[in-house]
């Protein structure tokens, strides 16, 4: 017989709790078992005046609503609150009964503004500490990577930099360029133009993740992932144009301080292969599994044929002549130059010297010996190093993919660096809670299996 359903249910009687209606394997039910926000009220108490004004949204309920949104991939407040109206699981997770009025979506915005970035970082850090306490994160082998996040701005909001416009308007290019350099602005090597700026979100900067891709207004998320179970140990967001190598050492220090463990090995891709990074890892006695970049070939006599002697701070050329440091300084290194009389009559001069130069001049970057050691080490990578680097691919790149595909991190939800950081912390907290819930489930299953095996008669 064909079944029928009465759709005129005027009343809804509930016998039991909302929890009874939610499947045990629902993501919010699983996360609820491991989520502890009992510390939160004390942490934000200084932001609320006791006994004054109307009672605000309970801090734990607000965080639970936000986390539910990130866990379910509903990252916009309006959409989240519309969904929460009809979604039993979100209501139960946040602690709202069926007939209770949910907070307005703007309350979540005001809470984010009032609490600030530091408190959301603490929520994320608590999830890391919970993972460490549960034994699913050790902080000894760490995979580091960065990923661009598209800013929430329209293409129409992009404009050329003001200084560029003024320069062209005045027709005084040299002066304009000097002012731009003083302001730390750089022209694109390809087009010779200054990069555009976002008028609606000035914190986002133009960046690209590949040479064949166009520049987009972006933020950059720097993430550190634990090797054991993929727990996210640290996230930080900068503007898109910040280089990976600038952030890694500070982030590793933050990871070590948070987990309380000393990091033994770090893996990263070639985007981190800078002398400064290798030297920083050596100073912290961390083994870096980072593929070094091929040396750029700018001369027919490559740089590797010039031997740097760190003890005497000089460079020996292929013909045994000495290049000494001169006074010219650049940010990332020093110039070393040969003497004209040494190069005069040298059989390699035609290949080694620029056509208009009588001496050889080259740049030795700061911490160059560390880079050389890393290059030598790369040639002798062990099987374990190769295995770790393969894990780097799916651990750290997998984290960014998961965050973007399932938790709405492909695009910024709100504008401004602080808002982007809050989004990043809550996304990472949601992913860590998923890992923790999975580990908890595995422990329970293990206990059940053991209990069953104990209750079985032992056959001898
Ligand atoms: S040209 Fe000068 S720097 Fe180059 S190999 Fe000859 S002597 Fe050395």
Q: Measured between alpha carbons, how far is residue 218 from residues 152, 183, 209, 402 in Å?
A: 9, 21, 10, 19
Q: How far apart are the first and last CA of the chain?
A: 56
Choose one of 315, 317, 344 to mutate for the ligand 1 pocket test, by most ligand atoms within 8 angstroms of C-beta.
Answer: 317
pLDDT tier for residue 233 given thresholds of 50, 70 and 90: very high
Partners of 179 in the beta sheet? none
CB of 261 sitting under 6 A from ligand 1: no
d(CA 97, CA 357) in angstroms, rounded, equals 81
Task: State residue 446's pLDDT score.
Answer: 77
- Residue 85 confidence (pLDDT) above 80: yes
What is the pLDDT of the chain when averaged over all its residues? 87
Distance, in Å, from the CA atom of 436 to the CA atom of 424, rounded to the nearest integer, reads 18
Contact 228, 351 (CB under 8 A): no
Tell me if residue 326 falls in helix, strand or coil.
strand
Q: How far is the CA of 85 from the centre of ligand 1 (A)?
A: 77
Nearest 5°: phi and psi at 328?
Answer: -65, 130
Instruction: Please state, in angstroms and rounded to a whole number, the distance separating the CA atoms of residues 341 and 339.
Output: 5
| Beta pairing class for 265-267 and 287-289 | parallel
Q: Is the pLDDT of residue 45 over 50?
A: yes
Q: How far apart, in whole angstroms, are the C-alpha atoms of residue 403 and residue 367?
A: 35
Rounded Cα–Cα distance for residues 287 and 101 (Å): 54
Rg from Cα positions in the chain: 29
pLDDT of 145 strictly over 70: yes
Q: Which is more confidently placed, 172 or 446?
A: 446
In the predicted structure, residue 460 carries a pLDDT above the cut 50: no
As a whole number, mean pLDDT of residues 159-168 equals 63
What distance in Å separates the CA atoms of residue 26 and residue 361, rounded to the nearest whole number?
65
Instruction: Say which residues have a Cβ less than 8 Å from residue 372's Cβ, sequence separation at least 6.
Output: 308
Residue 385 has a pLDDT of: 94
* Structure confidence at residue 166 (pLDDT): 61
- Across the range 245-265, mean pLDDT stands at 94
* 356 Cα–ligand 1 center, Å: 14
Q: Is 337 in the pocket of ligand 1 (CB under 6 A)?
A: no
Bridge partner residues of 4 (DSSP): none
The whole model's pTM is what? 0.86
pLDDT of residue 214: 81
Where does residue 57 fall: left (phi above 0), alpha (psi -120 to 50 degrees), or beta otherwise? beta
Concatenating the DSSP letter of every residue in 243-290 gives: -HHHHHHHHHHHHHHHH-S---EEE--GGG--HHHHHHHHHTT-EEE-
Q: Calculate mean pLDDT across residues 77-93.
A: 95
Element (H, E) at 147: strand 141-150
Q: What is the pLDDT of residue 161?
A: 65
Q: What is the mean pLDDT of residues 287-293?
A: 92
Whether residue 315 has its Cβ less than 6 Å from ligand 1: no
In whole angstroms, give the CA distance from residue 140 to residue 260.
10
Give whichever of 140-154, 160-174, 185-199 has the largest mean pLDDT. Answer: 140-154
What average pLDDT does the segment 363-391 reach? 93
The string of pLDDT tens digits covering residues 305-345 is: 899 998 899 999 999 999 999 877 788 889 999 999 999 98
Is the pLDDT assigned to residue 185 strictly greater than 70?
Answer: no
Residue nearest to atom 4 of ligand 1 (CA): 352
Ligand 1 atom nearest 359 alpha carbon = 2
Exposed/middle/buried for residue 373 (C-beta within 10 Å: 0-12, 13-18, 19+): middle
Structure tokens at 440: 């908890």
- Residue 179 banded pLDDT, cuts 50, 70, 90: low
Check residues 272 and 3 and name the one with the higher pLDDT.
Answer: 272
Cα(310) to ligand 1 centroid in Å equals 20
Residue 51 backbone zone (phi > 0: left; psi -120 to 50: alpha; other: beta) = left
The residues, ordered by sequence, that sit 6+ positions from 252 with a Cβ below 8 Å of its Cβ are 142, 144, 224, 263, 266, 284, 286
Question: Across residues 142-162, what is the average pLDDT?
Answer: 85
Nearest atom (ligand 1) to Cα of 318: 5
Using left for φ > 0, alpha for ψ between -120 and 50, and beta otherwise, residue 77 falls in alpha
- Ligand 1 center to 377 CA (angstroms): 29
Interatomic CA distance for residues 290 and 273, integer angstroms: 6
Give the residue from 411, 404, 396, 407 showing the smallest Cα distance to 27.
Answer: 407
pLDDT at 228: 92
**What are 219's two structure tokens?**
């933020």
Ligand 1 contact via 321 beta carbon (within 6 Å):
yes
Lowest mean pLDDT among 26-40, 126-140, 441-455: 441-455
Give residue-wise pLDDT tens across range 405-433. Answer: 999 999 999 999 999 999 999 999 999 99
Q: Where are the domains of the chain?
A: 18-123, 303-366
Dist CA 70 CA 298 (whole Å): 48
Among 242, 243, 261, 263, CA closest to 252: 263
Looking at 54-104, list the stretches that DSSP marks H as alpha helix, in order from N- to C-terminal side: 59-72, 77-86, 88-94
Would you state the pLDDT for residue 53? Answer: 80
Instruction: Please give the Cα distance from 323 to 197 (Å, whole number).
Output: 43
- Please check the confidence at residue 196 and state whether its pLDDT lies above 80: no
Does the CB atom of residue 362 touch ligand 1 within 6 A? no
């Amino acid at each position: 017989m064909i079944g029928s359903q009465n759709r005129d249910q005027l009343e809804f009687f509930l016998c039991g709790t909302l929890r009874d209606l939610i499947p045990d394997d629902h993501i919010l039910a699983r996360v609820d078992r491991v989520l502890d926000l009992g510390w939160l009220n004390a942490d934000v108490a200084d932001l609320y005046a006791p006994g004054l004004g109307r009672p605000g949204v309970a801090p734990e309920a607000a965080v639970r609503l936000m986390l539910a949104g990130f866990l379910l991939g509903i990252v916009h407040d309006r959409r989240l609150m519309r969904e929460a109206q009809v979604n039993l699981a979100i209501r139960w997770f946040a602690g709202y009964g069926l007939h209770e009025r949910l907070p307005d979506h703007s309350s979540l915005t005001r809470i984010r503004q009032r609490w600030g970035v530091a408190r959301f970082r603490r929520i994320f850090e608590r999830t890391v500490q919970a993972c460490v306490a549960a034994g699913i994160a050790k902080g000894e082998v760490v995979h580091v990577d960065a990923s661009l996040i598209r800013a929430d701005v329209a293409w129409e909001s992009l404009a050329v930099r003001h200084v560029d416009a003024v320069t062209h308007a005045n027709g005084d290019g040299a002066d304009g360029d000097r002012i731009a350099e003083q302001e730390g602005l750089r022209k694109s090597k390809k087009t010779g133009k200054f990069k555009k700026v976002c008028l609606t979100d000035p914190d986002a900067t133009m960046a690209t993740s590949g040479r064949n891709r166009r520049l987009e207004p972006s933020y950059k998320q720097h993430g550190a992932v634990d090797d054991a179970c993929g727990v996210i140990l640290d996230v930080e967001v900068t503007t898109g144009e910040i280089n990976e190598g600038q952030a890694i050492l500070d982030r590793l220090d933050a990871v070590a301080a948070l987990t309380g463990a000393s990091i033994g090995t770090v893996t990263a891709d070639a985007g981190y292969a800078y002398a400064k990074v290798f030297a920083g890892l050596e100073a912290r006695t961390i083994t870096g599994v980072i593929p070094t970049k091929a040396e750029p070939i700018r001369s027919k006599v490559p740089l590797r044929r010039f031997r740097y002697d760190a003890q005497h701070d000089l460079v020996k050329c292929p013909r045994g002549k000495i290049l000494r440091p001169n006074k010219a300084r650049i940010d990332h290194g020093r110039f070393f130059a040969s003497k004209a009389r040494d190069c005069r009559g040298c059989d390699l001069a035609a290949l080694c010297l620029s056509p208009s130069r009588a001496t050889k001049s080259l740049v030795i970057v700061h911490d160059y010996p560390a880079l050389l050691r890393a290059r030598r080490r790369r040639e002798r990578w062990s099987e374990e190093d190769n295995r770790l680097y393969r894990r780097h691919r799916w651990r750290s790149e997998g984290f960014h993919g998961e965050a973007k595909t399932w938790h709405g991190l492909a695009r910024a939800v709100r504008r401004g660096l602080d808002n982007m950081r809050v989004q990043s912390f809550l996304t990472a907290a949601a992913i860590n809670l998923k890992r923790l819930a999975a580990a908890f489930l595995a422990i329970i299953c293990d206990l059940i299996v053991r209990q069953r095996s104990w209750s079985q008669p032992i056959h001898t």
